[in-house]
Every structure is written in structure tokens, then in C-alpha cells.
């Protein structure tokens, strides 16, 4: 190809892109993508997040929309099928031309869509606690990193207030989030002097239902004479038979407490909780917290869903925070352009239903509080411990040797999600 032909081709491409962007800008509707499983094993958790986005869109449109335009939610169902998440993400960005996507629950689904968002320069808001060890310029992580959930939960259980636990069962679903989180927890526990023989790790498949043998093994491990706790990263509908079998085999919170990272009010709604009273969950929000922001959040949810018995939960709050921050960033930037919105996101603040002010940092993660909740007979949580102030998320865990010194900072001129050099060193 000659230089003249190449130049002509480049000019034509720029012109075509400009015309396309102009046509989209002239449209009177702003489309946003909703990428959550509405069927399959993760539907028990993700369907509510779809409804949360629809609630936020409905509320926004009642107030006049965004930038003078109506906001339209484009909802797709990747059906708990991880490769299908990537296909649906590509359709949302390339075919539906959405300005932003709110979606994913499992880390494997997020890992599946990540190359698509980075290739097409899409913007994903990910609303669920996860294992860290990732920082993308195309993702804002509004759920908890390990230092905002897993590490504080274990520290609480190790304390006198939490029962001075000495032995640990790390029980998880077999995929990215539990395996990486447990790798971090093992390193943390060993750094605190816990011997390897006092740490038991086990994984089961998605949708696992035959828990009799696994729970019997937990019971046997806990019979060694040391205070034992179960740290659960079991995900999705497998939690229902898991907790049922714990009760069947007489595992009580007073003897062997379970602290869960993926069980909230929505999951407990499908479980008979009378035998689970006293077991724990670690989140950044519980429906039971008392403040005016949470009261308004719950009231708005009940009015939208038309069911006063429907609960709220932590990933719903994370979705709420992400949506509010995105709309604020769009208004600040005066456009839905990804580059402009991304820069406007840094420093955004939202008064969260948790009662704290959530802040978006330049590592694309939030500063959030940490709460430990105890399961009550009514399916709610009594907050037994919480941080005094929001904790800034670590994208990379300091407990893993390979992560020592890693930096995530996406502000110009640094723009780096995985660097070990001192900030701005390349420009000195």
C-alpha cells in the first residue's frame, strides 16, 4: 500500500468514525447495558442486580433523564455461561452502542468480558466483592477488594471479640475468586503464625448440592480441640444445600462459626435461617443499618419492585454507588464519552446507604467501610463489628510476594494498573 493510499484510508476511517459518533450524539436516548445472569446457577444472586439498575434508570428518567436525554437499559441474559458473557458484552458495545455496562457477578464472568471491554474501549462497572489482583482502565470495581472484606473478617475472628479462632477451613466454589482469595488468606494466616496443618482448603463445583461428605470433613477437622471457623467463598445457589447440611450435622455458630463472603440477605431469603443464627457474613453494607440514606434506598426499592418483603443487599448498594457515580461523572464531563467520563470518575463521592461516604480512587476502586454481620432468625444481619472509617481498596495484595510494590494509578501521565516503579519516576 502506498503512503497516499494509506493516508486516504485513514482519513476515510476518521471521517466515518466522526459521522458515527455524531449520529449517536444526535440520538435522544442514552443506552446503558445490563449484563447479569437471569437464568442458571447465578440467577439467585444476579437477577436482583438487574432490577436495581432498572430502578436507578427509572428514577433518573423521572427526574428528566441525563444530559436532556432519556436513558434506556438494554438487558441481556448471559445465563451463567462464562463465554456467553463475552459474546453479550461485545453485542452491547458494538451493536447496541451502550455508553456503559453494569454487570457480572463471578470473577470468571468478569475475566471473560475484560478483553472485550479493553479491545472496544467499553466501560464496565463491576459491583461484587472479588479477589483483587486486577486493575483495568476499562473497569470500575465498586465491590470489596480482599482488604475490605476477607482480611478484616479473618482478623475479627482471630481477635478476642471474634472468638480467638486458631483453625481455619477455607471452603469455596471452584473458580477464580475463591482460589485467589484463599491464596491471599493462606499467606495472611501464615504471616500471623498459623501452621499449615491448621488450614484446610476445599473446592466444589458451581451448583454443588451433595454436601454431606464435605460438611462431615469440616466437622472432623473442627474436632481437633482448637477453635475452628469456616471461611466460605461458596457462590450462587450452592449455598442453600450447604447451609442446610451444616444444620443437619449440628454445626453451630457457637462451636464452628461460618463467615461468608458471598451470602447476603437475598441468598438467605431462600434458606430456613432458624438453625443458622449466629453465623456471620462480611460485607460493606447490610439492610439492617439505620440511617436516612438507607431508609430512602429501601423505600425506593420496595416502591419500584412493588413488594415490601424484598430485601436489599451489599451488591445492590455497590450497583447504586456505581450508577450514581457514573451519572455524576457524565454530568461533570457533559458527555458519555468513555475517555471524558473516566477522568471525571476520579474523586466522585456518593453518600451510600451504608451510612458512609464512598469515594472513587484513581486505582478504579472505592474507599468503603467493612462490616461483620451475624445472621438473625428473620434472615437479616445484626452488625457486630465495623470499621470507624472507609478503607481504601488495594488492587494488589501485599501478602503475595509477587505483588510487593505494585501500583495501580490511572491518572495522567501515569496511567498504570500494574507497575512497580515509584509514581511519576518515568517523567522525572
- Quick check: 129 pLDDT over 50? yes
Number of domains into which the chain is organized: 2
Indicate whether 121 and 171 sit together in one domain: no
Residue 186 domain flag: yes
- 105-137 burial, b at 16+ Cβ within 10 Å, e below that, comes to bbbbbbbbbbebbeeeebbbbbbbbbbbbbbbb
Residue 333 domain flag: yes
Q: Give the model's confidence band at 31: pLDDT under 50 very low, under 70 low, under 90 confident, else very high.
A: very high
d(CA 425, CA 419): 11
Indicate whether 186 and 315 sit together in one domain: no
Residue 128 domain flag: yes
Residue 283 domain flag: yes
Interval 187-200: pLDDT, tens: 999 999 999 999 99
What Cα–Cα distance (Å) separates residue 163 from each residue in 146, 154, 250, 403? 21, 11, 19, 31
Question: Under a CB-based contact definition with an 8 Å cutoff, are residues 379 and 312 in contact?
Answer: no
Indicate whether 63 and 164 sit together in one domain: no
Indicate whether 25 and 128 sit together in one domain: yes
What Cα–Cα distance (Å) separates residue 50 from each residue in 19, 54, 74, 365? 32, 6, 10, 21
User: Residue 216: which CATH number?
Assistant: 3.40.50.2300
What Cα–Cα distance (Å) separates residue 262 from each residue in 68, 173, 335? 38, 10, 35
What's the chain look like in SS3? CCHHHHHHHHHHHHHHHHHHHHHHHHCCEEEEEEECCCCCCCHHHHHHHHHHHHHHHHHHHHCCCECCEEEEEEEECCCCCHHHHHHHHHHHHHHCCCCEEEECCCHHHHHHHHHHHHHHCCCEEECCCCCCCCCCCCEEECCCCHHHCHHHHHHHHHCCCCCCCCEEEEEEECCHHHHHHHHHHHHHHHHCCCCHHHEEEEEECCCCCCCHHHHHHHHHHHHHCCCEEEEEECCHHHHHHHHHHHHHCCCCCCCCCEEECCCCHHHHCCCCHHHCCCCEEEECCCCCCCCHHHHHHHHHHHHHHCCCCCCCCHHHHHHHHHHHHHHHHHHHHCCCCHHHHHHHHCCCEEECCCCCEEEECCCCEEEECCEEEEECCCCCEEEEEECCCCEECCCCCCCCHHHCCCEEECCCCCCEEEECCCCCHHHC
Q: Which of the listed residues 368, 393, 417 is the one where a domain comes to its end?
A: 368
Name residue 231's beta-bridge partners. Answer: 170, 259
Indicate whether 318 and 383 sit together in one domain: no
Question: Under a CB-based contact definition with an 8 Å cutoff, are residues 313 and 325 in contact?
Answer: no
Indicate whether 200 and 171 sit together in one domain: yes
Parallel, antiparallel or unpaired: strands 258-260 and 228-233: parallel
Question: Pick from 358, 350, 359, 340: which is nearest to 412 by CA?
Answer: 340
Indicate whether 308 and 364 sit together in one domain: yes
Residue matched to cell numbers 448498594:
317
Interval 379-390: pLDDT, tens: 999 999 999 999
Write out the residue range of the structural domain in which residue 251 sits: 147-289+373-401
Residue 416 domain flag: no
Indicate whether 191 and 335 sit together in one domain: no
Residue 422 domain flag: no
Task: State the pLDDT at residue 74.
Answer: 98
Interval 47-96: pLDDT, tens: 999 999 999 999 999 999 999 999 999 999 999 999 999 999 999 999 99
Residue 45 domain flag: yes
- Quick check: 393 pLDDT over 50? yes
Indicate whether 132 and 155 sit together in one domain: no
- Planar angle of CA 32, 35, 37, nearest 5 degrees: 150
What Cα–Cα distance (Å) separates residue 373 from each residue in 27, 149, 155, 282? 46, 12, 14, 6
- Quick check: 7 pLDDT over 50? no
Chain mean pLDDT for the chain? 91
Q: Note the maximum CA span of the chain.
A: 80
Q: Which of the listed residues 351, 368, 385 is the one where a domain comes to its end?
A: 368
Task: State the pLDDT at residue 9.
Answer: 53
Indicate whether 253 and 309 sit together in one domain: no
Indicate whether 285 and 297 sit together in one domain: no
Interval 300-350: pLDDT, tens: 999 999 999 999 999 999 999 999 999 999 999 999 999 999 999 999 999
Residue 423 domain flag: no
d(CA 144, CA 262): 11
Parallel, antiparallel or unpaired: strands 228-233 and 371-375: unpaired
Name residue 258's beta-bridge partners. Answer: 230
Indicate whether 326 and 351 sit together in one domain: yes
Amino acid at each position: 500500500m502506498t503512503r497516499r493510499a494509506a493516508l486516504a484510508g485513514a482519513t476515510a476511517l476518521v471521517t466515518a468514525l466522526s459521522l458515527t459518533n455524531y449520529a449517536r450524539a444526535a440520538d435522544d436516548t442514552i443506552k446503558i447495558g445490563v449484563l447479569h445472569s437471569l437464568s442458571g446457577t447465578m440467577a439467585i444472586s444476579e437477577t436482583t442486580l438487574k432490577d436495581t439498575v432498572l430502578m436507578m434508570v427509572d428514577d433518573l428518567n423521572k427526574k428528566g433523564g441525563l444530559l436532556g436525554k432519556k436513558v434506556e437499559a438494554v438487558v441481556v441474559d448471559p445465563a451463567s455461561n462464562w463465554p456467553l458473557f463475552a459474546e453479550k458484552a461485545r453485542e452491547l458495545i458494538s451493536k447496541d452502542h451502550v455508553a456503559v455496562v453494569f454487570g457480572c457477578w463471578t470473577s470468571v464472568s468478569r475475566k471473560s468480558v475484560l478483553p472485550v471491554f479493553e479491545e472496544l474501549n467499553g466501560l464496565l462497572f463491576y459491583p461484587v466483592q472479588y479477589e483483587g489482583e486486577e486493575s483495568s482502565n476499562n473497569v470500575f470495581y465498586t465491590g470489596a477488594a480482599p482488604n475490605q472484606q476477607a482480611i478484616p473478617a479473618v482478623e475479627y475472628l482471630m481477635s478476642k471479640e471474634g472468638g480467638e479462632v486458631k483453625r481455619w477451613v477455607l471452603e469455596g466454589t471452584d473458580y477464580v475468586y475463591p482460589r485467589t482469595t484463599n491464596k491471599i488468606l493462606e499467606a495472611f494466616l501464615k504471616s500471623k503464625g498459623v501452621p499449615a496443618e491448621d488450614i484446610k482448603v476445599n473446592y466444589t463445583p458451581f451448583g454443588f448440592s451433595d454436601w454431606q461428605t464435605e460438611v462431615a470433613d469440616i466437622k472432623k477437622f473442627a474436632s481437633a480441640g482448637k477453635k475452628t471457623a469456616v471461611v466460605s467463598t461458596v457462590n450462587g445457589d450452592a449455598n442453600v444445600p450447604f447451609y442446610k447440611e451444616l444444620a443437619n450435622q449440628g454445626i453451630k455458630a457457637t462451636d464452628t462459626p461460618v463467615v461468608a463472603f458471598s451470602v447476603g440477605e437475598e441468598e438467605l431469603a431462600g434458606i430456613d435461617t432458624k438453625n443458622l443464627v449466629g453465623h456471620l457474613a462480611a460485607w460493606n453494607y447490610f439492610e439492617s443499618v439505620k440511617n436516612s440514606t438507607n431508609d430512602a434506598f429501601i423505600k425506593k426499592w420496595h416502591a419500584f419492585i412493588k413488594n415490601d418483603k424484598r430485601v436489599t443487599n451489599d451488591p445492590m448498594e455497590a450497583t447504586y454507588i456505581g450508577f450514581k457515580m457514573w451519572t455524576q461523572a457524565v454530568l461533570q464531563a457533559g458527555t458519555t464519552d468513555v475517555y471524558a467520563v473516566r477522568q471525571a470518575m476520579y474523586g466522585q463521592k456518593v453518600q451510600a446507604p451504608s451510612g458512609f461516604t464512598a469515594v472513587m480512587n484513581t486505582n478504579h476502586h472505592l474507599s468503603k467501610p467493612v462490616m461483620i454481620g451475624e445472621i438473625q432468625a428473620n434472615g437479616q444481619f445484626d452488625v457486630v463489628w465495623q470499621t470507624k472509617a472507609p478503607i481504601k481498596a488495594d488492587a494488589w495484595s501485599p501478602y503475595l510476594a509477587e505483588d510487593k510494590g505494585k501500583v495501580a494509578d490511572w491518572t495522567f501521565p501515569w496511567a498504570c494498573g500494574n507497575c512497580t516503579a515509584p509514581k511519576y519516576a518515568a517523567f522525572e
